[in-house]
């Protein structure tokens, strides 16, 4: 465990190399039957389904109809395609991994959905997108995202800059408590508060059967406590309209979690304390 330092650019580069490897692992079996997802025009990922349940009350009666949506840190694009299938008129996905985006474009093309993908750092999405796309109705990011960003000030500023007046931003992500638990159990083993970087090596991803398949093994994660997340959004000029804590995870983020066969995702088994595994925030651009 080390504090954040001037090596952030090198750290982000090492993360990108790691996620290039992860993209190949996830595309080739790690994410289940991708062919079936592509072929079923009504298929929605469980992640996007839960995200939409949180977002939809803030969209009004027309929901995503006729909306432009930007999906930050979109990885191989399954959730991004799902946002189009959920009704958005115009959908863009942004990620820093060229390998992931190559797979995402292939998935969208095969699924016959007109989703566009752009390479860029989520902290500076406004630099990656042309000026003509700086009027998004909705911006979303979801589970396993902001821990890979060294800081959130530019991230929040970019979101604010890209949203239309009255536009909505939604994040659902791993709960900050999990950083302190280090995904290892219920003992606090790392600092909870922002300002801490965790650097580690792993030859696997978070999906089953991935052990030994990651060549670029170095990972860098950064703690972002609730104050850091909410303060960044508020300081950017966004108004927080909802904050939630949820007892379901999208991956096995603690070793005792068991799969939820009905809803998908992972939950605490009976007999364990109930703790938040994910959180959500919905914010609006009142300007």
pLDDT digits 0-9 by tens, 43-56: 999 999 999 999 99
Residue 134 pLDDT: 79
Does residue 8 have a pLDDT over 80?
Answer: no
Asked whether the predicted pLDDT for residue 6 surpasses 80, the reply is no
Q: Three-state SS for 169?
A: strand
* pLDDT tens per residue across span 85-144: 999 999 999 999 999 999 999 999 999 999 999 999 999 999 999 887 779 999 999 999
- 3-class DSSP state of 107: helix
**Structural domain boundaries enclosing 14:** 2-284
275: Cβ contacts below 8 Å, ≥ 6 apart: 175, 177, 186, 247, 268
Predicted pLDDT at 262: 85
CA 173 – CA 233 distance, rounded (Å): 15
5 — pLDDT class (breaks 50, 70, 90): very low
Q: Is the pLDDT of residue 1 over 50?
A: no
Both tokens of 53, joined, read 């349940």
Extract the tokens encoding 275: 């703790």
Instruction: Identify the pLDDT of residue 132.
Output: 78
pLDDT at site 285: 97
17: confidence class by pLDDT, cuts 50, 70, 90:
very high
pLDDT digits (tens, 9 = 90+) for 212-243: 999 999 999 999 999 999 999 999 999 999 99
Tokens of 283: 């914010």
How far is 152 from 147, CA to CA, in rounded Å? 10
- Residues 81, 109: Cα–Cα separation, whole Å: 10
Tell whether the model's pLDDT for residue 3 goes beyond 60: no
CATH number at residue 91: 3.40.50.150
* Dihedral sign (CA 18, 23, 28, 29): positive
Please tell me what DSSP assigns to residue 273: P
Per-residue pLDDT for 59 more than 60? yes
How many domains are there within the chain? 1
Whole-angstrom distance, CA of residue 242 vs CA of residue 283: 7
Q: Report helix, strand or coil for 36.
A: helix
Question: Residue 251: its pLDDT value, please?
Answer: 94
């Amino acid at each position: 465990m080390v504090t954040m330092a001037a090596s952030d650019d090198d750290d982000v580069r090492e993360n990108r190399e790691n996620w290039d490897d992860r993209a190949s692992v996830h595309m080739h079996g790690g994410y289940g039957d991708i062919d079936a997802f592509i072929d079923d025009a009504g298929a929605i990922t469980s992640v996007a389904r839960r995200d939409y349940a949180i977002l939809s009350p803030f969209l009004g009666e027309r929901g995503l109809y006729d909306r432009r949506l930007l999906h930050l840190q979109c990885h191989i694009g399954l959730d991004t395609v799902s946002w189009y299938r959920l009704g958005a008129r115009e959908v863009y996905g942004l990620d820093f991994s060229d390998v992931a985006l190559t797979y995402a474009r292939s998935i969208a093309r095969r699924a016959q959905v007109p989703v566009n993908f752009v390479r860029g750092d989520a902290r500076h999405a406004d630099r990656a997108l042309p000026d003509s796309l700086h009027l998004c109705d909705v911006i979303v990011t979801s589970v396993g995202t902001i821990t890979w960003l060294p800081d959130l000030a530019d991230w929040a500023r970019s979101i604010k800059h890209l949203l239309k007046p009255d536009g909505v931003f939604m994040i659902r992500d791993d709960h900050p408590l999990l950083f302190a638990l280090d995904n290892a159990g219920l003992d606090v083993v790392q600092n909870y508060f922002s300002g801490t970087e965790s650097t580690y090596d792993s030859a696997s991803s978070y999906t089953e059967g991935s052990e030994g398949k990651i060549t670029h093994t170095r990972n860098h994660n950064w703690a972002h406590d609730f104050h850091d997340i909410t303060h960044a959004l508020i300081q950017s000029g966004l108004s927080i309209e909802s904050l939630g804590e949820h007892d379901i995870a999208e991956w096995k983020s603690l070793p005792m979690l068991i799969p939820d066969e009905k809803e998908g995702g992972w939950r605490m088994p009976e007999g364990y304390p109930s703790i938040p595994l994910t959180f959500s925030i919905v914010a609006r651009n009142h300007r």
